[in-house]
Amino acid sequence: MLKNRIYSQDELAVALKCNDINAFEYFYDRYAAALYGVILRIVHDEQATDLLFQESFLEVYENIRNHDSGKCTIFTWALSIFKRKAMDYHQLVLA
């Protein structure tokens, strides 16, 4: 696939499931800032956000085959992972 390719949500999901490195780069370039911002708004701590961001991306990578395109877009699915990680951390800090 071409490095500068633009993917539809369905194409991106398929490419990610095929471990297409260009698709992972596209996903990161397109969504990283938004996903980072979601975590930061929940935990209010940049160091924790950095760690949770890395852990969340790893979880997306390791579980990409669990994404069901019929239920939600790849971004919505990833967003749920990032939010859950941030909220779990926030609950731990408050405890």
Looking at the domain that runs over 9-94, which CATH code has it been given? 1.10.1740.10
CA-nearest of 47, 50, 41, 51 to 87 is 41
pLDDT tens digit sequence for 72-81: 999 999 999 9
In this predicted structure, what is the pLDDT of residue 47?
A: 97
CA dist list (Å): 76 to 19, 31, 46, 57? 19, 11, 23, 14
In this predicted structure, what is the pLDDT of residue 1?
A: 46
pLDDT tens digit sequence for 9-55: 999 999 999 999 999 999 999 999 999 999 999 999 999 999 999 99
In this predicted structure, what is the pLDDT of residue 37?
A: 98
In this predicted structure, what is the pLDDT of residue 4?
A: 77
